[in-house]
Amino acid sequence: MRAAKIIVFSIVFVLIYTVLIQNQDVFMHKFSLSLNLQISQLGPRETWNFVMLGAAFLIGVIFAVVSGAMKTGTLKRDLKNSKKRVRELESQQISTAAPETARQPSPFTPTPAPSPFGSPTSETDDEK
């Protein structure tokens, strides 16, 4: 399984590298980037296409990590509340149970059947 993972990652890496080499002009293309707010204006600045793609990827990673952290926090809080509720219900169940019923054996408790070979503690003829 480990070897298969390495082979798959290697193939994916080679394919991505091939796409990058063959389409190098697309990624190395420079374009002007500017932002015009009514109050102020930023730019124009020249940048490469791969810088913009990398920035978009990093912004996506940041949003994914933040949303995952928020979801994890929510799940932890829900789990904590659920465990607290279970403990409360268990303590209620223990306090409401009658102590006499807890000591009585269940009517469904099986009794051991006698062994056809005798009991394991019985003496044999050799030991007498």
Residue 45 domain-assigned (yes or no): yes
Residue 6 domain-assigned (yes or no): no
Residue 105 domain-assigned (yes or no): no
Q: How many domains does the chain have?
A: 1
Per-residue confidence (pLDDT) for residue 78, from 0 to 100: 93
Residue 42 domain-assigned (yes or no): yes
Per-residue confidence (pLDDT) for residue 72, from 0 to 100: 92
Per-residue confidence (pLDDT) for residue 98, from 0 to 100: 53
Residue 117 domain-assigned (yes or no): no
Residue 91 domain-assigned (yes or no): yes
Cβ–Cβ under 8 Å, residues 27 and 47: no
User: Predicted confidence band at 62 (pLDDT cuts at 50, 70, 90)?
Assistant: very high
Whole domain around residue 25: which residue ranges? 12-97
What does the chain look like in DSSP terms, one character per residue?
-HHHHHHHHHHHHHHHHHHHHHTHHHHH-EEEEEEE-SS-EEEEEEEEHHHHHHHHHHHHHHHHHHHHHHHHHHHHHHHHHHHHHHHHHHHHHHHHS-HHHHHSPPTTPPPPPPPTT--TTSPPTTT-
Per-residue confidence (pLDDT) for residue 81, from 0 to 100: 93
Asked if pLDDT for residue 19 goes beyond 60, the answer is: yes
Residue 59 domain-assigned (yes or no): yes
Residue 106 domain-assigned (yes or no): no
- Greater confidence (123 vs 65) lies with 65
pTM (2 d.p.) = 0.47
